[in-house]
Amino acid sequence: MKIAVVGLGAVGGLLAATLAHVGHEVSGLARGATLAAIREHGLRLTMAGAETTSAISASDDARALGPQDLVIVALKGQALAAAAQTMQALLGPNTLVMPAMNGVPWWFLQTAPVSTGLGDRSLPSVDPDDRIAALLPLERVLGCVVHLTCSSPAPGVIQHGFGDRLIVGEPGGGASMRVDSVCAALAQAGFKCEASADIRQDIWFKLWGNMTMNPVSALTGATTDHILDDPLVRAFILRTMEEAAHIGARIGCPITQSGEERMALTRQLGGFKTSMLQDTEAGRAIELDALVGAVHEIGNRFDIAMPNIGALLGLCRLMARERGLYPRPG
């Protein structure tokens, strides 16, 4: 399969390196120090105690890479609008686009059940002016949920943490040959890849678990174990999760697990720094809109009371604006 990865950071670099290692024709759209490092040293991955180097083609110009069978997008949400324009030369008549990103994707309400009663299905919090939807139409898209951790301690260098689970599905649900083919490629690369009959449910379930830990860690500087150790913070997170579960039920994504059960699973992973905390410490812009802003926007569509989600969004947004990590209004 001819595969291009847009964004060769932690997740993108992991996917590119593993897919190239098993023989797929992999290239990457990157820039700056990451592009220079990959061109000089290759894409270096440490996983399960073994180090590999993949000499993939990399460029900052999509025209140099050409049309692909599959484009994997592994960027922060706030970078997607610009990248969607940049990557147009990667898209042939049958190219699939699979975002491997956190949070609510731009297409999420487009495939919500009719029974929700939604009229306007745009999501300005993650796709202002419907720019992404126009550049990456729904018929090209596959949904993806990433259940693993990895980091990029230096440009072009990837360190796998734990987990190897990926979930792939059609935005509108159901089975398809194209989902099966992508899952087969990812399984060949060593991932536990599942074909989902309802990827929206899988996206919301992951979001329900990490939309709180990420911003709370960014606000406090605490690792996940310390967050769970504080009874007042735990209670706040549980109230926030209850509000998000209520929203999920209204859009066809019910949550059957309890907040306490999800916290117990997080506890089993030990103490770690969330991706948003890592971004905050590094002075990088945070992807608050996809993780919390979109949830707040959807809840407002149904007039759902969200005092805890609102507080979390407001506090984290203010913190990030004061540090130059989130745009100011206007």
Mean pLDDT over 288-312 rounds to 97
Same domain, 158 and 193: yes
Q: What is the pLDDT of residue 183?
A: 98
Average pLDDT value for residue range 258-281: 91
Nearest C-alpha neighbor of 159 from the set 43, 12, 14, 21? 14
Q: Are residues 190 and 307 part of one domain?
A: no
Average pLDDT of the residues in 2-9: 96
Provide the pLDDT for residue 9: 92
Which of 172, 197, 222 is at the close of a domain? Answer: 197
Return d(Cα 302, Cα 247) in angstroms, integer: 8
Number of H helices, E strands in the chain: 14, 12
Looking at 197, 226, 246, the residue that finishes a domain is: 197
- Residues 196-230 have pLDDT tens digits of 999 999 999 999 999 999 999 999 999 999 999 99
Q: What is the CATH number of the domain that holds 260?
A: 1.10.1040.10
Residues 153 and 212 occupy one common structural domain? no
Domain check: are 313 and 298 in the same one? yes
Q: Is 232 exposed, middle or buried (0-12, 13-18, 19+ CB in 10 A)?
A: exposed
Q: Which of 103-117, 123-137, 168-182, 260-274 has the lowest mean pLDDT?
A: 260-274
- Please say if 192 is a catalytic residue: no
Domain at 137, CATH number: 3.40.50.720
Residue 270: pLDDT band by 50, 70, 90 thresholds?
confident
The count of residues in the chain is 330
Q: Residues 66-101, buried b or exposed e (16+ Cβ, 10 A)?
A: eebbbbbbbbbbbbbbebbebbebbbeeebbbbbbb
CA 72/CA 241 separation, integer angstroms: 29
pLDDT mean over 152-160: 94
Is the whole-model pTM more than 0.85?
Answer: yes
Q: Are residues 9 and 108 in the same domain?
A: yes
Which residue of the set 76, 192, 206, 273 is catalytic?
A: 206
Rounded Cα distance between 237 and 229, Å, is 12
* C-alpha triplet 35, 38, 43: angle, nearest 5°: 135
pLDDT at 324: 97
Q: Looking at the structure, do residues 179 and 231 belong to the same domain, yes or no?
A: no
pLDDT score, position 184: 98
For residue range 243-253, what is the model confidence (pLDDT) as tens digits? 999 999 999 99
Q: Which residues contact 231 (CB under 8 A, 6 or more apart)?
A: none
Domain boundary among 178, 197, 216: 197
3-state secondary structure 138-181: HHHECEEEEECCEEEEECCEEEECCCCEEEEECCCCCCCHHHHH
Domain, as residue range, for 42 = 2-197
Residue 329 confidence (pLDDT) above 90: no
pLDDT class of 272 with cuts at 50, 70, 90: confident
Evaluate whether residue 328 is within a structural domain: no
pLDDT (tens digit, 9 = 90+) per residue, 99-152? 999 999 999 999 999 999 998 999 999 999 999 999 999 999 999 999 998 889
User: Is pLDDT of 330 > 80?
Assistant: no
Let me know whether 157 and 293 are in one domain. Answer: no
Residue with tokens 């590999």: 52
The count of domains in the chain is 2
Residue type at position 47: M
Asked if residue 95 is part of any domain, the answer here is: yes
Whether residue 213 is contained in a domain is answered as yes
The percentage of the chain sitting over the pLDDT mark of 90, rounded to a whole number, equals: 92
Backbone angles phi, psi at 93, to 5 degrees: -60, -30
With a pLDDT cut of 70, the percent of the chain lying above it is 100
Residue 10 confidence (pLDDT) above 90: yes
**Contact by Cβ (8 Å): 184, 195:** no
Same domain membership, residue 86 and residue 9: yes
Enumerate residues 6+ apart whose C-beta is below 8 A from 286: 76, 218, 276, 279, 280, 316, 320, 325, 326
pLDDT digits (tens, 9 = 90+) for 26-38: 999 999 999 999 9
- Torsion from C-alpha of 222, 242, 150, 171, nearest 10 degrees: -160
Closest CA to 44 of 191, 149, 156, 151: 156
Q: Are residues 173 and 208 in the same domain?
A: no
Q: 60 lies in a domain? A: yes
Cβ neighbours of 45 (radius 10 Å): 23
What average pLDDT does the chain have? Answer: 95
Could you give the CA distance from residue 37 to residue 100 in angstroms, rounded to a whole number? 23
Residues 31 and 156 in one domain: yes
- pLDDT of 68 higher than 80: yes
d(CA 189, CA 15): 8
